[in-house]
């Protein structure tokens, strides 16, 4: 059994990560920390975990906790991971970070999009980008992993195979994506209360959302990205538009995707338009595509669970690869129906 710790386990992504780790056949959760919930039993804050962790109490983070562990997950807000990693990397075998702190390879891009200089630019090259279906080799045996954001995961899975195959133009790409409210985090915000979200659908982060450079880095394309908040708990649906580089058909677009993901257990390519409900509770992404001869656009859609393949599930998938375990250990391919 690999012994792991989770820093920031009280947020939605952290709690989903804790749920997956508690049910993992090869991982033993040594501790889980929560800055604002230290001393609170896990089952009190999250009753869904009461039976799985009856005696686990959220701890206050102390660097000494990491000594001797095989892996530590970081499920912290933007900016917090970068302050912990320099010390943590010396104490633990593998660091898996779910935040954006080490995703961008260029420190100048980080400063441009996040408004401050990167606190540990010398460590950026140490992190493998954690999207296995597209960047698997560096993840095998990795000592540091930057797990992609939920929006970039959906956009990259939809577009990257087509860019790599030369099937679409790498400029003028449009990504419209909608996320469930859990993507905004657990702390209450005026814009994410039930009364504001119910019966509403809104765009945000117009032309300057921080996931834009990550999507461009992962896809190799220049992208106009517009995120939306949808009145659902979890899920992402990304609708991507691109121009073909030559003669194209729906069958050819689907074949490029099918070939790219052949043998990938967590990606489903089919003719039916994907739905977020079908991916809920799984580490799966569902893809479909069309070519519209009337307008000349290629349309690619990707649905996934923003807390699963978009965060915690993908983090566990990367941890499995880093630790030499079965890549799918502890991860579900069967979703909730209702």
Instruction: Name the region of 307 (left: φ>0; alpha: ψ -120 to 50; beta: rest).
Output: alpha
CA–CA separation, 1 and 329 (whole Å)? 12
Report the run of H or E that residue 129 belongs to, with start and end: strand 128-129
Catalytic residues: 150
Phi and psi, residue 275, nearest 5°:
-125, 150
Burial 187-226 (b: 16+ CB within 10 A, else e): eeeeebeeeebeeeeeeeeeeebbbbbbbbbbbebebebb
Q: Reduced to 3 states, what is the DSSP secondary structure of residue 25?
A: coil
Q: What does the alpha-carbon distance between residue 170 and residue 184 come to, in Å, rounded to a whole number?
A: 30
Q: Could you give the C-alpha distances from 176 to 9, 87, 229, 242, 297, in angstroms and in order?
A: 30, 38, 11, 12, 14
Residue 4 burial (C-beta neighbours within 10 Å; 0-12, 13-18, 19+)? buried
What's the per-residue H, E or C state across 74-112?
ECCCCCCHHHHHHHHCCCCCEEEECCCCCCCCCHHHHHH
> In this structure, are residues 284 and 267 in contact, taking their beta carbons and an 8 Å threshold?
yes
Query: Look-up: residue for tokens 């939809």?
Result: 158
- Compute the distance between CA of residue 47 and CA of residue 25 in angstroms, rounded to an integer: 22
Q: How far apart are CA 312 and CA 332, in angstroms?
A: 12
């Amino acid at each position: 059994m690999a012994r792991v710790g989770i820093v920031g386990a009280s947020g939605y992504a952290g709690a989903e990560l804790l749920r997956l780790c508690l049910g993992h056949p090869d991982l033993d959760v040594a501790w889980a920390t929560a800055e604002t919930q230290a001393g609170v039993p896990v089952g009190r804050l999250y009753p869904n975990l009461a039976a799985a962790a009856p005696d686990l109490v959220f701890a206050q983070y102390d660097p000494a906790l990491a000594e001797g562990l095989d892996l530590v997950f970081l499920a912290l807000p933007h900016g917090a991971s970068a302050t912990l990693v320099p010390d943590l990397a010396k104490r633990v075998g593998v660091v898996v970070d779910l935040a954006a702190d080490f995703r961008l390879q260029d420190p100048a891009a980080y400063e441009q999009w996040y408004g401050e200089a990167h606190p540990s630019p010398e460590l950026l090259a140490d992190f493998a980008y954690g999207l296995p279906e597209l960047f698997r080799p560096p993840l095998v045996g990795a000592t540091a992993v930057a797990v992609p954001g939920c929006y970039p995961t959906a956009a990259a899975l939809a577009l990257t195979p087509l860019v790599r195959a030369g099937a679409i133009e790498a400029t003028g790409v449009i990504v419209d994506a909608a996320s469930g409210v859990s993507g905004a985090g657990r702390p209450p915000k005026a814009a994410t209360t039930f009364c504001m979200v119910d019966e509403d659908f809104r765009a945000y982060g117009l032309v300057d959302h921080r996931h834009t450079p990550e999507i461009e880095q992962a896809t190799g394309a220049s992208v106009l990205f517009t995120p939306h908040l949808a009145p659902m708990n979890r899920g992402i649906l990304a609708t991507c538009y691109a121009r073909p580089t030559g003669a194209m058909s729906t069958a050819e677009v689907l074949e490029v995707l099918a070939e790219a993901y052949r043998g990938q257990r967590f990606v489903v390519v089919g003719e039916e338009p994907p739905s977020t409900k079908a991916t809920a509770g799984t580490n799966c992404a569902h893809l479909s595509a069309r070519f519209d001869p009337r307008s000349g656009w290629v349309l690619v859609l990707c649905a996934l669970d923003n807390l699963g393949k978009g965060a915690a599930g993908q983090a566990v998938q990367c941890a499995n690869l880093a630790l030499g375990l079965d890549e799918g250990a502890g991860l579900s391919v069967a979703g909730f129906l209702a």
